[in-house]
Amino acid sequence: MSEAATAIVWFRRDLRLADNPALSAAIGHAQCVIPLYVHAPDEEGDWPPGAASRWWLHRSLGSLAASLRTRGATLHVRRGPTSSAIIGVARATGATRVYWNRLYEPAIAARDARLAAELREAGLEVECFNAALFVEPWGTCTAQGGPYRVFTPFWRSCAGLLDSQPGPLPAPARIHSADVGNSAVRIDDLGLQPAIRWDSGLANAWTPGEEGAHERLQRFCESALHAYDTGRNRPDLPDTSRLSPYLHFGEIGPRQCLAAVRNALLDRPSAKAAADTFIRELGWREFAHHLLHHFPHTATEPLDTRFGAFPWEPSPDWLEAWRRGRTGYPIVDAGMRELWATGWMHNRVRMIVASLLTKNLRQPWLEGARWFWDTLVDADLASNTLGWQWTAGCGADAAPYFRIFNPTLQAARHDPDGAYVRRWLPDALRDYPSPIVDFRESRAAALAGYARIKARS
């Protein structure tokens, strides 16, 4: 591609400078680069960012702006509509090209396709890249040419492509930029901060931004990677990577994680099995995007259509007890309080709390997905949808419906000394409710409901 005088790089959920293909391409093909963020949550369909995600986004944008300043550039911020914002900046600067990295959620992908056509009609060149995945959702298929619905063969197909992945791109040392004019919007003006400050726990738990992402990855490789094989199921131990929000916001990419883990193995080859397990977990993230791309209705509807007739028993009281961590099952309530305090929950606990909600309380899985969407800092539509449908038994590669997690046995196995429960549920020994439902009775009722829909199919 020939060189342009000025190009726009449209940042979205790729809030980093290193291993950013759109930014690298712009710097390589333009004399002047304009970093731009456009705030347009109303263009994201039924799933605009929830409260915890907005909190993270505010800080991540601030971090990105600071990083750009050290390299001689300014992060220009605008409000949507995205099309008019980008065209306005292009006209103000004389930019002739727009670069961005792809997103894959159905509403956003459809918006991006319309946007690309509008920008080209306005005389701008458009180029987009993959910065978020090893393999894009359409990049692999079954032998019959269709999408995968089972993780193991999907990952077998993708894993064979990992060795051909290009290495992570370096961050630019300098970005030649230009003035955009006087229509700037401050990050603080976007309304991302909570009006009532409930976020102190999040601030204590997280450091959003590219620097925080690399610190988290380095700490994981040095202190927890070797134990990941077994430690990842222990919520009482610090043996998970906690990289999910950084990956969601693109403050770090999967190629960087892969490179860091493989580099760590040079000094500790005995950790290979644990490293393979971690990389496989990154594969579940890939699988989630594969499924949502090919089955876009699953954000709100079950992939297994039989569950459209499942006899849910919606109960506002039971749903509220679950949300507030008052179910009477300590590990469930500890998890819900960890979520409320920090915007995050250990993955093993996520499965336990989701199982209780959908199978023992028989509340619709979408109610749980929506609550997670608002309260998780790593709220990702693809992963959230996969996780809830997997646990509820109505999605691709789902747990068999009769797999109903027993919270008491799960706690004994994965929090054997009770440290996790004591941390997040200090009132467990006083003023604590009895279980909201009897586990055995509610399990039997759930299985009876499943038997009814199975008999109709």
Range list of H helices, 244-306: 244-248, 254-267, 272-294
Catalytic residue among 44, 125, 284, 301: 284
Q: Which of 365, 373, 390, 424 is catalytic?
A: 365
Active-site pick, 118, 136, 281, 301: 281
Q: Is 281 noted as a catalytic residue in this protein?
A: yes
Distance CA 406, CA 219 (A): 33
Which two three-digit tokens encode residue 427?
Answer: 């009132």
What totals of helices (H) and strands (E) does the chain contain, helices first? 19, 5
Query: Measuring CA to CA, which residue among 132, 133, 129 is closest to residue 97?
Result: 129
Distance CA 281, CA 372 (A): 20
Going 303 to 366 to 245 to 324, the CA torsion angle's sign is: negative
155 catalytic? Reply is no
182 annotated active-site: no
Between CA 317 and CA 324 the distance in angstroms is 11
Catalytic residue flag (residue 215): no
CB-CB neighbours of 341 under 10 Å: 15
Determine which helix (DSSP H) or strand (DSSP E) holds 448, and give its type and residue range.
Answer: helix 439-456
Q: What is the spatial distance between Cα 337 and Cα 333, in angstroms, rounded to a whole number?
A: 6
322 is catalytic: no
The one catalytic residue in 211, 312, 340, 406 is: 312
Residue in 10, 206, 388, 424 annotated catalytic:
388
Is 388 an annotated catalytic residue? yes
* HSE-up of residue 319 (Cα within 13 Å, Cβ side): 16
Q: Cα–Cα distance between 46 and 50 in angstroms, integer?
A: 11
Q: Helical H runs in 309-364? A: 316-323, 330-342, 347-355
CA atoms of 109 and 97, how far apart (whole Å) = 20
Of the candidates 118, 127, 211, 347, the residue annotated as catalytic is: 347
Active-site residues, by number, are 281, 284, 312, 347, 365, 388
